[in-house]
Structure 1
Amino acid sequence: MNSTPIQGECAPGFEQVRAVFEDNFAERGEVGAAVAVYLRGEPVVDLWGGIADAQSGRPWARDTLVCMMSVAKGVLALLVHRLASQGVIALDQPITRWWPEFGAAGKHTITLRQVLAHVAGLPYADGLPRGSLYDWSRVTEALAPQAPAFPPGEVRCYHSATMGFIVGEVLRRATGTPIGELLTAELCGPLGAEFRIGLSPSEQARCATMIPSEGNILDIARAKPESLFGKMWFPIADDEDFNSIAWRSAQIPSANGHGTARGVARLYSVVASQLAWGDPGPVGLPALREGIAEQWAGREHSTGMFWRQALGFFLNWPPNRPMGPNPAAFGHSGAGGAQGFGDPDSGLGFCYSPNRMHSGIDIGPRATPLIEAAFACLQTLNLTSRNSLAKRTN
């Protein structure tokens, strides 16, 4: 029997999600985590439990922040599409329109669309010493003169860290605001969604301590530092465990987003509801539809994994990135098991955020049963389509 106290709220009909969340602690090695499900912008599941910091025994609280790794890519993409819908940036203009120095060494034709689709040919930054990943200027100044590793537009290769730096520098130059402040001002703040790029000291005090499992993504990179996968992750510090002040303070927009499951689920539910019913939302509908359109489906070069890619988002492709039964579901997972996505058929937003990172590069064994439970509840309540939910909420 599970003895971990679970806190929060679960609407009638969604008790199965709570039961699975409890099972994660009892049977699947969960240490501390939160899970949230929103429908049409409103919470139906908001649960948390376990230990935020094993050394002190500090429990997971309602406002505990946790590093969700590349879940940040999807949140960053929402900001990009918001600014594109406002005409602040344009996805098909060369990046040199905002960042002239970036055009060196044959990069003058690269666009934001190519970066968001991971086909820009810049999956890593050359020539940076260990520990320099936390220095925005140093990374962007290294990327500007660098030649592409692959011909732009030709190779599907995940831009693990470089996506965020390239996109973030364009947004900084287009708006005059650093990416962390811009994300809060333009997207997360107005929607009341707690998700940050770069934490203040007071926010760091609320952080859960990450627990990397043996064989985690950094172990894979450290084992072969000269491989393509290794180059993507370094110049991170040799001893990084995703808990350092440097990691939490830095602005690494595609890798070190910290927040609550509640915040990410709300973001995705709001935009999924825009797509389902044309509800008001933060992104213009044409730009949002373009953002979730499939750019490619196939094998990614660095991992050999099959996936479907939109503009900054993964698209649903079970079993590796399961987001429910709808092929149009879009979102992003994070190394270690975090997952955030929206389902435009039901208006659902989902996020799961643990501190114990599983090994490997898929989402692991704890998110999938929660996602399955959420959609099973929708099925039981006959809320799996936009028509049935519209009848229920009107």
Structure 2
Amino acid sequence: MSRRVVGWVVLVALLAYAVQLCFYRADEELHVDGEVDEAFKGVREAFSANFLEGWERGGASFVVYHNGRKVVDLWGGYADRDCERLWKRDTLNVAFSSTKAFAALCVAKLVDEGHLKYDDLVTKFWPEFGKHGKGNVTVRWLLGHRTPNWPPGTETGYHAITYGWLADQIVRRVDPKHRSVGVYFREEFAEKYNLDFYIGLPHCEAHRVSRLTIPSAWDTLQEIAHKPSDFNVFRFIHQMWTNGPLSRVGHNVPWIAFMNRMTLNNPDFYGIEQAGVLGIGTARAMAELFERFRVGELMSPATFKALTSDYVLQRDVVTGAYVPRGPGLMIKKLLHNNVTVELLGHSGYGGQNVRVDLANNLTIAYMSNALKVGFGDTARTYVRLLHSVYDVIIGPEEI
């Protein structure tokens, strides 16, 4: 693509952002509720600013644990803006790919109990998987997105949707009770810790789920203009134009549509145990479980080390990103006030995220139903909130 075309696209995006800054006004009542520790009051201000400045078009929730205490528990906006249904304390939201982190914990528990090892061949308990050149694939490679369509272990390519079914088969075949991943999660985690999170939502809870909305062209331009370096726009355009891997991820499962239309507002889908994209719950539940993970409550030190170390950094052949990945989790680095921190967990489409910062004794979770452009780590609403947290822990960024 020529530099002239690139220049025009960037110019249009910047103009769109300038127009938004000039004409946007918050003409609606701000709905924000929850609790914040006095030291973290700046987080509430950042959370409110996301709504007041038009960055948060629907509803959201944000929860933070620090040094073993819950210091932020916020929610606000609309669960369904069209019918003016407010986002409440118990509003549920689709976690998208952040669900993968919960599937990773399910497998980790089975590892911890001695039912399998990360370096076991998948064919040890799933012989049929070995067909078509996959006989040497390990559990670690499978959970780390390092399996075909390339020689296993040589590349990394994001399994956005199929990951859920692959993880489910591992759980079913290794668990002595042969439970599905959804049932396993419910019985081993959700019920034990009273978590409002589901991989397979009971139909009676569907009324609590927020309505998802995809970003308009205008929303997309504004987000790109805010920080163009966060978006590989031209790679995305090329992928869509040539039906590349990223495009096929978004279209190969017709009933899971989230790019040009949103099928995941269909309550009939909520009960499907799809551990790659269809976890449904609250940010509070996400943060609580991963806080328990962070402090070592969920597994032995040996399994914890196996799950959190020896990550592989490669360019992802699907997304184009360089992201360190392990057996189900990934690391995102953040630069704050000249200090680089590492956040372990998993982001999700449209802004969803659950992360732990082991060095700073921190756990965070964020959910939003007005989906942002791209993956959760670059959503400007989430990034603003994250920096507001580190303003307290590390110190305010110098301007």
1:371: which partner in 2?
386
- Per the TM alignment, residue 3 of structure 1 is displaced from its structure 2 partner at its CA by 3.2
Establish whether residue 3 from structure 1 lines up as the match of residue 21 from structure 2. Answer: no
Establish whether residue 115 from structure 1 lines up as the match of residue 142 from structure 2. Answer: yes
Establish whether residue 270 from structure 1 lines up as the match of residue 286 from structure 2. Answer: no
Please tell me whether Structure 1 or Structure 2 has the larger radius of gyration of its CA atoms. Answer: 2
- For residues 72-221 of structure 1, what are the structure 2 equivalents within 5 Å? 72-121=99-148, 149-175=149-175, 176-214=178-216
Aligned equivalent of 1:255, options 254, 268, 277 = 277
Mapped to 1, the partners of 2:270 and 2:242 lie a distance apart of 23
Is the 8 Å Cα contact of residues 47 and 385 (structure 2) preserved in structure 1? yes
Which amino acid in the other structure matches residue 100 of structure 1?
P
| Structure 1 range deviating more: 112-121 or 18-27 | 112-121
SS in 2 for 1:45: strand
Which amino acid in the other structure matches residue 368 of structure 1?
V
1:46: which partner in 2?
73
2:90: which partner in 1?
63
TM-score (norm 1): 0.81
Is the 8 Å Cα contact of residues 350 and 370 (structure 2) preserved in structure 1? yes
Mapped to 2, the partners of 1:236 and 1:79 lie a distance apart of 27
The RMSD of aligned alpha carbons is: 2.5
- Structure 1: gaps spanning 5 or more residues: 122-148, 275-280, 382-394
Mapped to 1, the partners of 2:131 and 2:329 lie a distance apart of 28
Residue-by-residue CA offset, 1:116-149 (whole Å, 9 max, x unaligned)? 111112xxxxxxxxxxxxxxxxxxxxxxxxxxx2
2:21: which partner in 1?
none
- Per the TM alignment, residue 380 of structure 1 is displaced from its structure 2 partner at its CA by 5.8
- Per the TM alignment, residue 205 of structure 1 is displaced from its structure 2 partner at its CA by 0.9
Which amino acid in the other structure matches residue 289 of structure 1?
K
Residue-by-residue CA offset, 1:193-227 (whole Å, 9 max, x unaligned)? 3221111112211000011113689x989945842
SS in 2 for 1:87: coil
| 1:266–1:220 Cα change, 3 Å | farther
| 1:232–1:283 Cα change, 3 Å | same
Mapped to 2, the partners of 1:193 and 1:326 lie a distance apart of 32
Mapped to 1, the partners of 2:300 and 2:151 lie a distance apart of 32
Residue-by-residue CA offset, 1:355-385 (whole Å, 9 max, x unaligned)? 100123453110011111112222469xxxx
Which amino acid in the other structure matches residue 47 of structure 1?
L
Mapped to 1, the partners of 2:214 and 2:113 lie a distance apart of 40
- Per the TM alignment, residue 290 of structure 1 is displaced from its structure 2 partner at its CA by 1.3
| 1:318–1:301 Cα change, 3 Å | farther
TM-score (norm 2): 0.80
1:299: which partner in 2?
315
- Structure 2: gaps spanning 5 or more residues: 1-25, 221-230
Aligned equivalent of 2:44, options 2, 8, 18 = 18
Mapped to 2, the partners of 1:3 and 1:325 lie a distance apart of 37
2:248: which partner in 1?
231
| 1:295–1:10 Cα change, 3 Å | same
Is the 8 Å Cα contact of residues 155 and 314 (structure 2) preserved in structure 1? no
Q: Which of structure 1's runs of 4+ aligned residues deviate more than 6 A?
A: 219-222
Aligned equivalent of 2:355, options 338, 341, 344 = 341
Which amino acid in the other structure matches residue 103 of structure 1?
G
Which amino acid in the other structure matches residue 153 of structure 2?
G
Is the 8 Å Cα contact of residues 117 and 310 (structure 1) preserved in structure 2? yes
Establish whether residue 332 from structure 1 lines up as the match of residue 346 from structure 2. Answer: yes
Which amino acid in the other structure matches residue 389 of structure 2?
A
Give the number of equivalent residue pairs.
344
Establish whether residue 318 from structure 1 lines up as the match of residue 356 from structure 2. Answer: no
| 1:189–1:343 Cα change, 3 Å | farther
SS in 1 for 2:131: helix
Mapped to 1, the partners of 2:304 and 2:342 lie a distance apart of 13
Mapped to 2, the partners of 1:180 and 1:376 lie a distance apart of 37
Which amino acid in the other structure matches residue 96 of structure 1?
T
Is the 8 Å Cα contact of residues 70 and 255 (structure 1) preserved in structure 2? yes
| Structure 1 range deviating more: 15-24 or 208-217 | 208-217
1:309: which partner in 2?
325
Is the 8 Å Cα contact of residues 332 and 341 (structure 1) preserved in structure 2? yes
Mapped to 1, the partners of 2:204 and 2:237 lie a distance apart of 32
> Between the two proteins, what is the percent identity of the paired residues?
27
Which amino acid in the other structure matches residue 29 of structure 1?
W
Mapped to 2, the partners of 1:299 and 1:115 lie a distance apart of 17
